[in-house]
Structure 1
């Protein structure tokens, strides 16, 4: 029995590693795709394609695709916060932000959970949570301090706002929305991605005038990777990892996502990784890791 549990945990860690690497590499991949396609069109089309693949996977596994009518509203709300805002706002923001800026701002989400827990559920932050907030937001100050008041690219402020709004909406949804348990995780993800990305694609077609024919060979590889990897396969490995690992372990493991994204953007795209980005990464991720730790009577 002990050997089986150990093997199951090792498999969970392997699945988590695949998920984290896949999501991390997606940050520079999005930058590549944005050279050919506008953001809403690119992310919307990728999401619709991924939702189709996930639906096919669910059907192959014999899972019921249709959901109860009472669950549709919750799935739509979760899709807006967890997909439309999380993916859509972030992708738009990356027109003006570096991967380091976008990734670290978005991954402040657990800090916003701590902050919003007080007004939403009357849960006062503990001393540990206050320290986590101080570290995390200190990292934001370090990251953005060299830009505020300096010469920034047009739209930089909007990019920062969209990235932070994506993190805040995801955090609020975590606190306010009950998980949809009437269907399997893969089916729930299929509906969330589909309900969020279909209007995103339509909005991109109407406002951005994206054209499939403008995709370069490099952009086509980036699009294929985004659909097959981060938005389809990595969701499957993520859910499989969650069945084998404690949720806190899985959550802390995702802190490697922005690290992999930032380092890979430096190696693949030549984006800067200086002392400011390194210090901001250390402060922000230390704060998030502290916020994700389980309470142990530290209030």
Structure 2
């Protein structure tokens, strides 16, 4: 008798993630805009600032969130994150020609420690370079490079109130994601569950609202290399949360990776 193989489990991120993140970002931008209006901050965009605002929206929001989201449909989360979180390396390289900040031995050591920690944490599986993986790797690498470039160039502030800048960047970048999500993902609106609504509210208020607001404020106060190296804490926190909530393993490999990453972040912040 022929043995029937079990059906493969669908990838959990094969849902309408681009649509969901785009809609959450647009809602977050409206909330930020209302807060800015309530604080009597002008939302008007000076004509000379329009090209820089569009470029910042593309690199800091659409490329980071959109490219990263699409990449996860072709590579695993670990593979994509490993490439995306090479962003501090590109930030260090871009800061040299654009901001005349030549990397020091401490910068290089911090980045080596941080990236080594992320590589140890997420790089257990090798890459299979078929067509799908190549697309995912290209998108992840583009995400890292463009976001790093946007972070470096954002050191020169736009001639607008800071809250208005964040609202416009998140809104424009996520509006493009929302349109692409509607066109290509064709989300099933009737399938939204109460848990999905709760996740959407969280994504709107925290990742798209509070996190972007604090990130752009961080860029105003810290050098790009130090700020972007601190982002290496993200996968570390994800491992801890996954172990606590989902019961995923937290062994010597994970502890060693976190020690390396935290060492890199600490070293990067020493000169701040």
TM-score (norm 2): 0.77
Are 1:41 and 1:205, in contact at CA under 8 Å, matched by a contact in 2? yes
Q: d(CA) in 2 for partners of 1:285 and 1:105? A: 19
Tell me the alpha carbon deviations over residues 129-151 of structure 1, each in whole angstroms, 9 at most, x when there is no partner.
2322332343344345431158x
Q: d(CA) in 2 for partners of 1:149 and 1:60? A: 50
Aligned partner (choices 58, 64, 71) of residue 80 of structure 1: 58
RCO comparison, higher one (Cα < 8 Å, 6+)? 1
Shift of 1:82: 0.8
- Count of matched residue positions in the alignment of Structure 1 and Structure 2: 258
User: Hey, what does 2:70 align to over in structure 1?
Assistant: 92
User: Hey, what does 1:171 align to over in structure 2?
Assistant: 148
1:195 and 2:172 aligned: yes
Shift of 1:216: 1.9
Q: d(CA) in 2 for partners of 1:48 and 1:209? A: 18
Are 1:110 and 1:291, in contact at CA under 8 Å, matched by a contact in 2? no
User: Hey, what does 1:230 align to over in structure 2?
Assistant: 207
Gaps of 5+ in 1: 1-30
Are 2:19 and 2:181, in contact at CA under 8 Å, matched by a contact in 1? yes
Shift of 1:51: 1.0
Aligned partner (choices 185, 195, 199) of residue 162 of structure 2: 185
Partner SS state of residue 33, structure 2: helix
User: Hey, what does 1:20 align to over in structure 2?
Assistant: none
Q: d(CA) in 2 for partners of 1:164 and 1:273? A: 28
Are 1:47 and 1:194, in contact at CA under 8 Å, matched by a contact in 2? yes
Aligned partner (choices 219, 243, 247) of residue 222 of structure 2: 247
CA RMSD, Structure 1 to Structure 2 (Å): 3.5
User: Hey, what does 2:3 align to over in structure 1?
Assistant: none
TM-score (norm 1): 0.71
Aligned partner (choices 8, 12, 22) of residue 44 of structure 1: 22
Shift of 1:258: 3.5
- Distance verdict in 2 for CA 1:261–1:143, change over 3 Å: closer
- Distance verdict in 2 for CA 1:218–1:101, change over 3 Å: farther
Are 1:75 and 1:180, in contact at CA under 8 Å, matched by a contact in 2? no
Partner SS state of residue 120, structure 2: helix
Are 2:82 and 2:122, in contact at CA under 8 Å, matched by a contact in 1? no
User: Hey, what does 1:53 align to over in structure 2?
Assistant: 31
Q: Which moved more, 1:259-268 or 1:200-209?
A: 259-268
Shift of 1:101: 5.8
User: Hey, what does 2:267 align to over in structure 1?
Assistant: 290
User: Hey, what does 2:108 align to over in structure 1?
Assistant: 130
Are 2:232 and 2:261, in contact at CA under 8 Å, matched by a contact in 1? no
Shift of 1:89: 2.3
Shift of 1:273: 3.4
Partner SS state of residue 165, structure 1: helix
Are 2:68 and 2:139, in contact at CA under 8 Å, matched by a contact in 1? yes
Aligned partner (choices 104, 117, 121) of residue 139 of structure 1: 117
Q: d(CA) in 1 for partners of 2:113 and 2:218? A: 29
User: Hey, what does 1:69 align to over in structure 2?
Assistant: 47
Q: Which moved more, 1:168-177 or 1:75-84?
A: 168-177
Q: d(CA) in 2 for partners of 1:183 and 1:39? A: 31
Are 1:88 and 1:200, in contact at CA under 8 Å, matched by a contact in 2? yes
Tell me the alpha carbon deviations over residues 40-91 of structure 1, each in whole angstroms, 9 at most, x when there is no partner.
1111111111111111111111111111011111111111111111122233
Gaps of 5+ in 2: 1-10
Are 1:44 and 1:204, in contact at CA under 8 Å, matched by a contact in 2? yes
